[in-house]
Amino acid sequence: MQRIYRVGTRTSPLALKQVEEVFDVLKKFYPGVEPEVIGIDTYGDKDKVTPVSDIEGTDFFTREIDKALLKNEIDFAVHSAKDLPDELRDGLTIAAITYPIDPFDALVSKSGLTLDKLPEGARIGTSSLRRKEQLNKYRKDFGIVDIRGNIEERLRLLEEPDPDRRSGYLSRSPIGFSLDGIVIAACGLIRLGLSHRITQKIPFDILKPRPLQGSLAIVARQDKKDLIDLFSALDARQRIWQT
């Protein structure tokens, strides 16, 4: 089967890696398929001020891609499964959820110290309300700071002490404010070839990850039965594909 599919995705390096990952597996079943990658900047990519904790469960990171799907401008979309809204737009369906490559949250520490060894009052950058609450429960002395941006931007937040030079977002921080560590999904670092940056994969009894973390979601129109059938080979819900 020779076929090119128009794939909608965000434009970050991680999002492009995720499309590549899907097609690497899909080609094992259908060698002739090829992607035409259509990068779409979502509202969540443009708004780097609103804390992620304020928009969890919404279509903040999928809205524009969903619209392109409904207009038939793309054939399907590839998302981080945890970015899906709690409810999809009418007319759309999840064609597949892949097995997670790694469900853990990861600490990237400037000093190379694990969570239990970080000094009192250490400042930890993260985004989700879930992470903030669990980190504060583990160590009430931590200073938890909102951060936004793609993975590369978040790593730069850790490396550059001057907020004026950062391309990510660090909320309510004075000049010279620095971070001791950041907590992000391990799967993102792994997909980008940045596993060496992981100081610690945080145990589940300290930080329980969000459901579907590490998994990818393929979203298509409900009336595209051929596409839904195509992705059945990748769908972890059917226990067919395992990494």
Q: Tell me, what's the pLDDT at 177?
A: 62
Per-residue confidence (pLDDT) for residue 45, from 0 to 100: 80
**Per-residue confidence (pLDDT) for residue 159, from 0 to 100:** 81
Give the class (CATH, top level) of 105-201. Answer: alpha beta
What architecture is the 3-99+215-238 domain classified under in CATH? Answer: 3-Layer(aba) Sandwich (3.40)
Q: What are the domain boundaries of the chain? A: 3-99+215-238, 105-201
Which residues of the chain fall short of a pLDDT of 70?
1, 53, 161-177, 239-243
Do the first three CATH levels of 3-99+215-238 and 105-201 match, i.e. the same topology? Answer: yes
Per-residue confidence (pLDDT) for residue 1, from 0 to 100: 58
Q: What is the pLDDT of residue 49?
A: 73
List residues with catalytic annotation: 83
pLDDT at 161: 55
Are 55 and 48 a contacting pair, CB within 8 Å? Answer: no
pLDDT of residue 8: 97
Kindly give, in sequence order, each residue whose CB lies less than 8 Å from that of residue 239, ignoring residues fewer than 6 positions away: none
